Structure 1
Amino acid sequence: MYHYRECGLRNVWLANGYDEHDTPYGPGIAIHDVEGLHRAIAHGIVNKGGKLTGSELRFLRQEMGLSQAKLASMLGNEAQTVALWEKRSSQPKIADRFIRAIYRELDEGNAHIRDMIERLVDSDLEENDARITLEQDSGGWKVAA
């Protein structure tokens, strides 16, 4: 068995799916289908019981291609807050659930959820007193285009 520490997690062991070989610098390992391996690790993390550890949160964030700042803005926090969650494993329960849900949606191919969250983040940057214009048609009231 190979202790796969390269992913940043201490508890990942590979029963197979890798080759050992000699290099001029010593023994080496070649992992088969690293992308698939990382998806499987993420599934294990998302579906496990208990709270995410800081390193698990970091792993999921990186698998989703999010910076600490981007994840923080999605959650209405500061980047330093996410950094502390990753360092101390002390994120609030709602953040834990949200991160798991977002990963599941992205993994299942639902890019709409990410688009929606990014629009929400962008809307935080807009003026709060922006005018909302409404119009009524046969279907009822709607926000005017």
Structure 2
Amino acid sequence: MSATEHYHYEECGLDHVYLVNGFTKSQTPYGEGIAIKDVEKLHEAIARTIIAGPQPIRGQELRFLRKFMDMSQKTLASLMGETEQDIFRWEKKREKSINGAADRLIRVIVGQYLDGTEIRPFLERLAELDQVEPTDILLEDREGHWKQAA
């Protein structure tokens, strides 16, 4: 199959997704129509491919992943310890890479979502840490072992 026979799947919001098969073309009274087999599983495959890839996640991919998880910018920002404006800015810059810890955290969040593991309570707890005042660490020796004091 030549590259021209691949379907450029722009409907997902990503510039670089092409389907080799799993779609049918038909003529309708309104022009050419495309039917795609099992869009939900296709989107899952796209998400898995993005988070497994070696390149940094870009803004357009972040938007796809967030929408795939049916998550608002506000909710994702809260889970990441970022502001809603940060998520908006990253998504707006479609081709710009998101590097560092934010990229890795996005991959973890999406990976856990895909695998059905509930990571949300853990991330919400981590987000709460940003709002807690630092406290002293109290340690005591208990029978030759240092432990946190009660």
CA RMSD after TM alignment: 2.4
1:80 aligns with 2:89: no
Could you say which residue in structure 2 is the equivalent of 1:2? 7
Structure 1 CA distance, aligned partners of 2:98 and 2:58?
9
Structure 2 unmatched ranges of 5 or more: 1-5, 134-147
Structure 2 CA distance, aligned partners of 1:71 and 1:32?
29
1:106 aligns with 2:113: yes
Q: Percent identity?
A: 46
What is the CA deviation profile of residues 107-126 of structure 1, one whole-angstrom value per residue up to 9, with x for unaligned ones? 11102x123224555x47x8
Structure 1 unmatched ranges of 5 or more: 130-140
**1:96 aligns with one of 87, 90, 103:** 103
Could you say which residue in structure 2 is the equivalent of 1:70? 75
TM-score with structure 2 setting the length: 0.76
Q: Secondary structure at the match of 1:22?
A: strand
TM-score with structure 1 setting the length: 0.78
Could you say which residue in structure 2 is the equivalent of 1:116? 122
Structure 1 CA distance, aligned partners of 2:104 and 2:17?
22
Alpha-carbon spacing, 1:39–1:52, altered in 2? closer, same or farther (3 Å): same
The count of corresponding residues between Structure 1 and Structure 2 is 130
Residue 92 of structure 1, CA deviation: 4.1
Are the equivalent residues in 1 in contact too, given 2:27–2:33 (CA < 8 A)?
yes
- Select the structure with the greater relative contact order (CA < 8 A; seq sep ≥ 6): 2
Q: Secondary structure at the match of 1:16?
A: coil
1:14 aligns with 2:19: yes
